[in-house]
Amino acid sequence: MKRIVIFSMIIFTNLYLFAQVDIIGNLETKTRFGFTGEDRITWSRNILTLNLTSNITEGAGLFSDIRFVHDGFPKQEKVSNYLKNSLELTQPLSIEFREAFIDLYAFPLHNVDIRIGKQRIAWGTADKFNPTDNINPDKLDDIYEFGDHFGSTAFNIKWYPGPFTTQLIYIPTFTPAVLPRGDWINAFINYNVPDTILQQFPQYNPLDIFDYINIDNRVKNTSSFAFKISTMLFGYDLSLSFYKGREDIPVLDYNNVYKFFDTISKYDPNTPISFEYGPLFLYPRKSVIGIDFAGSIRNIGIWGEFAYTDMQEVYHWIPLINPQKVIDAGGKFIKYVLGFDYTTAYNLYINFQYIHGFLHEMKKDNLNDYFSFRLEKNFPYKNFKLILLSGLASVSDWDNIKESYGFTVGPGLEIRPSDGVELTIGTYIIDAKPGSFFYNVKDLDEVYLNFKYSF
């Protein structure tokens, strides 16, 4: 880690000395406290973000987004490892290389721009919940930063023929999503191994299977392609897009789970095992056709996204007298988002969205309905903002809302004591019924305290 930090500082120093570089960034401290059940610190993180921009020549530019992340929780290790590496274990530091790319302007034609390198390619017009935004891997480790992504190494070509913008993208390698921590992982991935398997192998822990994961790096299986054409019509931004690649949230392949248990049942538990039947986690191939729009009616901003998805089926067989095929994920389905926002004459801001199909829902029968909302009152001359209500709600069965709802909601207060400084305090309150996305985390009520300084 010391070498990485020193190497990074050398790069920054040389860029600053030998190139015309603009540096902006921010420092954030995020802390959350659980107040349901046993009181505990649930989140602690410090993040230093540095954005570097340089116009190398008139025809080229460089941009990078690098973040130094300090996790406030010491790593859990054996005493012997602690004595040897106490600094690294008690001060865990990581570097997130979010973006680093070069822009070539008017090359090879005057109306063509090319961007090469690791980059965030954000598609969609909705607020954070974007079913057409499939190019970059999701970053879900902090679930309350939903909508965050890592960049991907990509070749990005933009062509401007008249009133249209055409975008062609090639991503050489597939990168899975960064999954949530703790109990939130249970909301995104179904870890339940079928009872028909567990009954045959009761001596084995089903969680052991998640030690085995494999990603196929052959070009035909790891590369992805995307195309988009956009324009403005009658004051509305419109676009049509296509993506062909993989789903970045894994799906459990129950067929290989069965083979896994069948294999380990034939071996001595103390003997290393070689598995050659395929991965237990699958990242299904998919094609997505997207349509999105954004505009306004009077002073009300409106937007919408529609994503038609054709995904590789992931299924397993129930071993009955007449075996039954069960689809776990895949097939054809449509996710969409419709929303609006409005600011009243009294600086009261309203944001509301209807969402059909969440990020982890991957087949037609599993698409539920969600509602995101935000109501806040800004006091610009008093340097604070009151977050009256903010959250996400879900309904999985409209015929029985009382037993199928879920939500996370809470008020907050944002204070701006000086230029570039923000202090935010608030709560996340969760309640849910079985079957809801929030059910596995219904006891994770939290108070949060965030500090941010931008420079």
Helix (H) or strand (E) holding 221: helix 219-222
Cα distances (Å, whole numbers) of residue 133 to 74, 179, 288, 291, 360? 35, 17, 10, 11, 14
- Residue 382: half-sphere exposure toward Cβ, Cα within 13 Å: 9
Give the C-alpha separation, 277 to 262, whole Å. Answer: 11
In sequence order, which residues have a C-beta less than 8 Å from that of residue 397 and are 6 or more positions away? 403, 404, 435
Angle at 148 between CA 144 and CA 152, to 5 degrees: 155
CB 268, CB 294: distance < 8 Å: no
Give the C-alpha separation, 357 to 144, whole Å. Answer: 18
* Confidence at 322, pLDDT banded by 50, 70, 90: low
Instruction: Give the sign of the dihedral formed by CA 107, CA 109, CA 110, CA 113.
Output: negative
First to last CA, the chain: 26
Whole-number pLDDT of residue 189: 74
Helix (H) or strand (E) holding 238: strand 236-246
Segment 273-292, tens digit of pLDDT: 444 444 567 899 999 999 99
Reading the block at residue 305, the tokens are 């996204």
Single-letter amino acid code for the residue at 293: F
Give the C-alpha separation, 211 to 282, whole Å. Answer: 14
Question: Closest Cα partner for 353 from 304, 389, 388?
Answer: 304
Instruction: Give the sign of the dihedral formed by CA 274, CA 275, CA 280, CA 284.
Output: positive
* Confidence at 265, pLDDT banded by 50, 70, 90: low
Segment 413-433, tens digit of pLDDT: 999 999 999 999 999 999 999
CB 432, CB 407: distance < 8 Å: yes
Helix (H) or strand (E) holding 10: helix 2-18
In sequence order, which residues have a C-beta less than 8 Å from that of residue 435 and are 6 or more positions away? 396, 397, 403, 404
Cα distances (Å, whole numbers) of residue 138 to 146, 321, 422? 9, 42, 26
Segment 168-218, tens digit of pLDDT: 999 999 999 998 887 788 777 766 655 555 565 555 555 555 545 556 666
The per-residue b/e assignment along 187-225, b for 16 or more CB within 10 angstroms, e otherwise, is: bbbeeebeeebeeebeebebeebeeeeeeeeeeeebbbe
Whether omega for the bond prior to residue 131 falls within 30 degrees of 0, making it cis, is: no
Q: Strand runs (DSSP E) across 13-120, as ranges?
A: 21-34, 40-57, 60-71, 93-104, 112-119
Segment 96-148, tens digit of pLDDT: 999 999 999 999 999 999 999 999 999 999 999 999 999 999 999 999 998 99
Segment 66-80, tens digit of pLDDT: 999 998 887 766 665
DSSP state string for 150-167 = --EEEEEEEE--TT-EEE
Segment 148-165, tens digit of pLDDT: 999 999 999 999 998 999
What residue spans of 53-128 are helical by DSSP H? 79-84, 86-90
162 CB-contact burial (10 Å; exposed 0-12 / middle 13-18 / buried 19+): exposed
